[in-house]
């Protein structure tokens, strides 16, 4: 809905669409982490997804200030997974 509102208002914002994309990235990475059972490859996949989602959200936030918060959470999850992967290896 937010992406559609950006398109209809013709304001040049992409934050709504980026927010929807970030939500799917967070959902996908979270499901993969829960299903991984500690498998290093799946955790690495989720870490990369969290990292890309966080960077994408920070770049495309625009006027959506809450998107910066969700992007920070995504980057935090990437860092936590990085340390978890190092602990496993």
pLDDT tens per residue across span 17-52: 899 999 999 999 999 999 999 899 999 999 999 999
**pLDDT score for 52:** 98
Question: CA angle 39-45-50, nearest 5°?
Answer: 125
Q: Tell me how far apart the alpha carbons of residues 84 and 78 are, in angstroms, rounded to a whole number.
A: 10
Question: CA angle 57-7-50, nearest 5°?
Answer: 15
- What is this structure's pTM? 0.86
């Amino acid at each position: 809905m937010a992406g559609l509102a950006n398109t209809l208002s013709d304001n040049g914002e992409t934050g709504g669409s980026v927010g929807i994309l970030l939500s799917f990235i967070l959902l996908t990475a979270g499901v993969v982490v829960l299903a991984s059972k500690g498998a290093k490859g799946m955790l690495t996949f989720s870490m990369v997804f969290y990292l890309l989602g966080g960077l994408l959200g920070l770049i495309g936030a625009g006027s959506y200030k809450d998107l910066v918060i969700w992007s920070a959470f995504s980057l935090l999850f990437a860092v936590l997974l990085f340390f978890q992967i190092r602990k496993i290896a």
